[in-house]
Structure 1
C-alpha cells in the first residue's frame, strides 16, 4: 500500500504560482489569462473566467449542489408524514416499518450511485453543461412524480429519478468549478458547491417546517424540488465550456490502471467512503426520527428543532470555505474527523443514559408485557406515560395504526401515548450532540473529500475518476441509509452511535497515513507529484 511523504506534503519542490487575473471592464472577454508563466513549472494553465463572472458561473453550477442538499434534507421531514399516511398499516410492525422507511430513503441513494457511475463519463463525452442539463430534467420529473404519488411504487420511482439527477450533478459540478477556477481560489469555489449542498439541506428543513400545516404536507415538501432545476437550465447558457480540456470520446478504463492514477484513486475513493461511513447522512436523513427516539413527541416541534442542526451545518460549511485555504485540506480533515468521533461518542452516551433511565412498565395494567418503555417500543407496542414526570412508570399497550399520530384517548387514564421514543429528559443532550457532530463535520469532512477529488486527477481521466469517487460516496451512503434504522432496532441507539465513532477513529488513522496536502498546488503540480511516486 502506498505511503505518504513524512511531511504530509506532496513531494514536489515547486513554488506556488500566483495567478494574475485581469480586471476587465464590462466589454472585456469572459476569460482572463495569466500573463506570467514559468515554463519550468509545466504546461501553461488555461485561461480562467474573469473574477466578476467566476462567482456568477460558480453559483449557477452550484444549483446542482443545492438540489443535492435539498433532496438529502427534505426526506427527513417528509418521512414521518409518509409513515403516518402511506405506511400507517405497518405501525404495529416496527422491524418491517424500519425496512420500508430505509428503502424509501435508500432508493434515491441507489439512483444517485448509478448517476455518479455514469455521470463522469457523460461529462467527458457530452461536456459538463450538457450533463448538468440532463440532471436538471431528472430532478424535475422525479420531484413531480413524488408529489403526485398515490402509492409506494411511484414514490420510490420518483426517488430513484431524483437520485439519478443528484448523482450526475454531484460528480459534474465540482469538476466544472475546479476546471474554471485559478489555483488560489479553486478549493474555496469548490467548497461553495458544498455550501450550496448544506444551504439546500437548510432550505429543505425550512420548507418541511412551513409545509407541516398544509394538507398533504409531504407532497408539497417533495414537489418544491421541481423549481430550482428550471433556474439552473436558464443559467447554463452563461456558463462557458471549461477551457482546460477538449471534449473527448470518453475515458478508456486502461487509463485508470496507471500507477499514479491508482494512487490517486486510493486517496480519492477512500476520502469519499470515510465521509459517509462516519454517519453524516444518518443525521441528515433521519434527524426528526432521531429526535423522536429521544422522546420528542410533537412532529412540528421535531421539525422546528431540526432547523438548529441544519443551521449549524450551513454555518460550519461557510467557515470551512475560509479554513480550507488558510489551514490546508489535510490539517482540516484530521481535526474534523477527530472531533466527529468525539461528538458521536457524546450521542452514544446520551442515548445510553436515556436507556438506563427508561420508565418502567406497570405489568398489572398493561396488555403488552415488557419490563421497560424501551423494550415496549421494540416489541411494536406503545407506551402510555407522563409528560410531567418523565421517569414515572406507565402502561405498555398493544399498538394501533397511526404511529406518532396516536390520539391521547389511545391510553387509559391520564397517560400520553409514546410510539417512536420513550419519555426522557435527555432530548436536549441528543440535540446538542447532533449540533456538535455537524459543527465538527461541516468545515472538514464535508468539503475536503470533494475539493481534493476535484483537483486530484489528470485531465484525461478526471471526469471518470471523479465519477468513481462519487459512486463510492453514494454506495457508502446507501449502505448507511439502508441499515441505520435496522441497527437502531437491533442494537439500540447507544451501540449504533458508538459503532460510527469507531469508524471515525479508524478513518482518522487512515487519513493521517495516506492523505497528502494539496493546498497551493496547481493541477499540473499535483499530477507531477503522483507521477513521481508520491502518495
Structure 2
C-alpha cells in the first residue's frame, strides 16, 4: 500500500461521530479533501482489471510484458515526481490550490486514457494520473489534519487511509460492472474523471487550511505580526496622513448606523494614548465576532475631535476605508506616545531601525544609559531583537551578559531589514521585554487583517465559539515553534541538512529503521497483488476475465478490512510485534502460494495433436506434434501462443494455438476456454486461499505500521527530511517491484517468482527483528533517548526512566 494511515482509538472515533454530527461543516471539509484519497486508491487499483482488456485490444501487449509493466508502473513513476512537486507546492501555494491542481491532472489523465488510440498514449495518461496521485498522497491527509479539531484529528485523518483502500475496492467493482460494456477499459480508466471533477468543484467553494494561512501571515512581509507599541519605520505613512486638517465632518459615518445605535462602545478624540481605546475595540470585536470588513467602519464612527479629522484625511489619502490592522498601525503612529522618553523603549525599537551588522553597536551604546537593568536582562533584550535564524544559535549558547551575547552574535552582510522582517522577529518578544517595559508592550498578539482574519473566520466554523481563541493561540505557538526549528537548520542547503542529519547517531539509527520498513513493505510483493490481481487469478488457472475480476474483488475487500483492524491492534500489540507477526504470515502464505503454482505447473494438461488438428490454420507456429508439450510449454513458446482447453473438461488434453482475437473467438465458439496467462489445474482454489491469507497477514501489519513508525522515530527537527527519504525509498521500491513482476513470471515462472518474494520476505523478517525498535507508548523525546542510548538494542524493549501515565502519541501522514 502506497499511502499512509494514522491510528485513532475507539473513543476518538465516538467523539468524531458526535462532533461531526453537530458540526457538519467539518464533515464537508474532510469529505471534499478525502476524495483525493479515493482517487489515489481508484487510479492505482483500476489498472489491474483494465489491463486484461487493454491486452486483448492491442495485440502487441499479448507477449510484451515490459510494455504492460510500463503501463502499470508509470503511475508510480509519476507519483514519485508528483510527491516531490506536491511538497513544494503545498508550502508555496497552499493545500487547496495543490488539491485543485491534482484534480486537473486526474481529469487530464482520465481523458487521455479514455480516448487513447495506442498503448503509448495510455502511458502518457498514466503519467498524468501518477502526478495527481503523488500530489494527492501528500496533500489530502495534510489538509484533513489541519482543518480537523485536535481531539478527533487522528480519527479524521484515518479516513484518508480508509478512502485509499475504499477507492481500490471501488475500482474493482467498476471493473466488474463494465466487463460487458462496449469500450470496457476506456470506461474503467475514464470514469475516474467524475470524482476528480466533483472534488474540483467542491474545493473551489472551500477555504484554505487555517494553519497554512496563519503561517503565511506570520512569514509574509506584507502581513507579519507586529506589536502595536513598536511601530515600524519603513511602513510609516506619507506626511499627508499626519497633517492637521480643519474639521470637515466624518465621511465614513454621517448618521448613526442602526445596527450599532445602542451598543456600549468607547470613543476616542486623539488627546490621549490610543492604546487602551484600540484594545477595547479589539475586545469588543472578539466578543461580538465582528466581521473584518466592519471593524474599521465601526471604530471610525466613534472617533471625535482631532481623531475624527485625522481619519477623514487618512481615508482621502488611502482612497478607501483601510483594513482594521492598517487603521491600528496608523492610529498609533499618529497619536501614540513618543519613544524618546524611555531608554527601554529605544532599546525595543532598535531591531526595527538598525541593520543586522550595526544592531550590536547601537544596542551597546544605548544600554549603557539604561539604569536598573541587570546584565542578564540586557542579554535577554539583545537576543530577543535578533532575527530568528541568528537568535536560535545565540540562545542555545545561553549568554549570561550582554558582552557574551554580542561575541556570539555572528556577523552577516550589511543589509537593512524590512518592516515585515522586523515585525516577524519581534512578533513574540522575550519575557524580559514585557517584564521590564510594561508601558511599551501592553498589547496582545492579534491576528492581522487578510489571511489572519480569514484564519479566524475558518476556525469559527470548525470550533465552538468558546474554543476559537484557544485554538488561535495553539496555532500561534505551533507555527512559531516550527519556525524556530526551521531557523536552526533551515539556512543550510539540502546537502548541509543531510550532512547534519547523518552526523547524528540518533538520526542514522532512526533513518535505517524507517527506510528498512518502507522498503520491506514493497519487497514482500504487495503491489504485485494490488496491480496484477486479476492476472494472478488467471495464472492460478481461471481463464475468464470476468471470473478473474470477480475473484480479485475478494483481495481488495480483505485489504480494506485489514486496514481497519490495524487501528484497534497497533496500540495494544505494538508496532514492532505487529510487523513481525505480519511478516511471519506473509512468509508462510507466499511459500504456500509458490508451492501451489509449482504443483499446478507440473500437472498442466498436455497438448494433443488430435485436439489441435481441427485448428490447422491457427496452430502455434512452434508446435511440433512429435514433441511432447504441456499447456505450460505452449504458453512459454517464443511466438505468441495460447491453450484452447478440452470441451467439457479443461484438465484433459487441449490444443496449442496462435494467440490473436480471431483464434480466441474460434476457441470460444467451440465452447472451450482459452488460456493465455496460466493453465487449467485443480489447485486454483488453493492458490486463491493462499492469496487471500497473504492479504490478511499483510494489511494489518506491514500495510499500515511502516508509516506509523516513520511518523514517530525521527527527531522533530529532522522529521521532514528523513520522512521524505523514507517515502522516496517506498515509492522507488514500489516502482522496482511493479516494473519487474511480469518479466519475472515470464523468465522464472509464477511459482519461482512467488518463492522469490517468500525468500525476500524472510530476509525482511530477520532485518526488521534486528534493526527496528518498539515505539509504542513512547514520547518523541523518549524515542530520541532510546536511539541515542549506548545500550541500544532494537530487539529489547526500552523502558523510560520516569514513565508517565495517560501518554498520547500523535501519529502523522507522510
* C-alpha separation in 2, matches of 1:194 and 1:104: 25
Query: Which of the residues 402, 415, 421 maps onto 2:661?
Result: 402
For the structure 1 residues 140 and 462, does the alpha-carbon distance in structure 2 shift closer, same or farther, using more than 3 Å as the test? farther
Cross-structure match for 2:632: 374
Query: Which of the residues 498, 515, 531 maps onto 1:256?
Result: 498
Q: Residue 237 of structure 1: SS of its match in structure 2? A: coil
Q: Residue 393 of structure 1: SS of its match in structure 2? A: coil
- Give the CA deviation at 1:99: 1.1
- Give the CA deviation at 1:478: 0.9
- Give the CA deviation at 1:280: 0.5
- Give the CA deviation at 1:371: 1.5
Query: Which of the residues 325, 344, 347 maps onto 2:590?
Result: 344
Q: Residue 383 of structure 1: SS of its match in structure 2? A: strand
Equivalence map 1:451-470=2 (5 Å): 451-470=708-727
Q: Which whole-Å deviations, capped at 9, do the CAs of 1:186-209 have from their partners, x for residues lacking one?
A: 776655433222111101001111
For the structure 1 residues 431 and 196, does the alpha-carbon distance in structure 2 shift closer, same or farther, using more than 3 Å as the test? same
Contact 1:348 1:493 in 2 (8 A): yes
For the structure 1 residues 126 and 428, does the alpha-carbon distance in structure 2 shift closer, same or farther, using more than 3 Å as the test? same
Contact 1:187 1:324 in 2 (8 A): no
* C-alpha separation in 1, matches of 2:575 and 2:154: 9
For the structure 1 residues 446 and 388, does the alpha-carbon distance in structure 2 shift closer, same or farther, using more than 3 Å as the test? same
Contact 2:583 2:761 in 1 (8 A): yes
* C-alpha separation in 2, matches of 1:169 and 1:528: 34
Equivalence map 1:474-513=2 (5 Å): 474-513=731-770
- Give the CA deviation at 1:406: 1.1
For the structure 1 residues 138 and 457, does the alpha-carbon distance in structure 2 shift closer, same or farther, using more than 3 Å as the test? farther
- Give the CA deviation at 1:151: 2.0
How many residues align? The count is 486
Q: Residue 709 of structure 2: SS of its match in structure 1? A: helix
With normalisation by structure 1, the TM-score equals: 0.81
Deviates more, 1:245-254 or 1:357-366: 245-254
Q: Please say if 1:440 is aligned against 2:702.
A: no
For the structure 1 residues 262 and 116, does the alpha-carbon distance in structure 2 shift closer, same or farther, using more than 3 Å as the test? farther
Contact 1:187 1:325 in 2 (8 A): no
Cross-structure match for 1:471: 728
Q: Residue 457 of structure 1: SS of its match in structure 2? A: coil
Cross-structure match for 1:268: 514
Q: Please say if 1:383 is aligned against 2:643.
A: yes
Q: Which whole-Å deviations, capped at 9, do the CAs of 1:273-307 have from their partners, x for residues lacking one?
A: 11111101100111111111222122112111111
Greater C-alpha radius of gyration: 2
For the structure 1 residues 237 and 213, does the alpha-carbon distance in structure 2 shift closer, same or farther, using more than 3 Å as the test? farther
Q: Residue 210 of structure 2: SS of its match in structure 1? A: coil
Cross-structure match for 1:33: none
* C-alpha separation in 2, matches of 1:187 and 1:444: 18
Q: Which whole-Å deviations, capped at 9, do the CAs of 1:202-237 have from their partners, x for residues lacking one?
A: 010011111222211111111222233344452563
For the structure 1 residues 90 and 228, does the alpha-carbon distance in structure 2 shift closer, same or farther, using more than 3 Å as the test? closer
Asked which structure has the greater RCO (Cα within 8 Å, sep 6+), the reply is: 1
For the structure 1 residues 387 and 172, does the alpha-carbon distance in structure 2 shift closer, same or farther, using more than 3 Å as the test? farther
For the structure 1 residues 466 and 63, does the alpha-carbon distance in structure 2 shift closer, same or farther, using more than 3 Å as the test? farther
Cross-structure match for 1:73: 45
* C-alpha separation in 1, matches of 2:520 and 2:32: 29
Q: Which whole-Å deviations, capped at 9, do the CAs of 1:452-489 have from their partners, x for residues lacking one?
A: 22333345443443332222111111111111011111
Q: Please say if 1:518 is aligned against 2:760.
A: no
* C-alpha separation in 1, matches of 2:788 and 2:744: 43
With normalisation by structure 2, the TM-score equals: 0.55
* C-alpha separation in 1, matches of 2:150 and 2:591: 38
RMSD: 3.4
Query: Which of the residues 227, 240, 244 maps onto 2:210?
Result: 240
Contact 1:352 1:494 in 2 (8 A): yes
Cross-structure match for 1:152: 119
Q: Residue 149 of structure 1: SS of its match in structure 2? A: coil
Q: Which whole-Å deviations, capped at 9, do the CAs of 1:250-276 have from their partners, x for residues lacking one?
A: 784222332233333222222111111
- Give the CA deviation at 1:169: 2.7
Contact 1:271 1:449 in 2 (8 A): yes
For the structure 1 residues 100 and 135, does the alpha-carbon distance in structure 2 shift closer, same or farther, using more than 3 Å as the test? same
* C-alpha separation in 2, matches of 1:125 and 1:530: 34
* C-alpha separation in 1, matches of 2:76 and 2:644: 36
For the structure 1 residues 433 and 107, does the alpha-carbon distance in structure 2 shift closer, same or farther, using more than 3 Å as the test? same
Cross-structure match for 1:307: 553
- Give the CA deviation at 1:382: 1.9
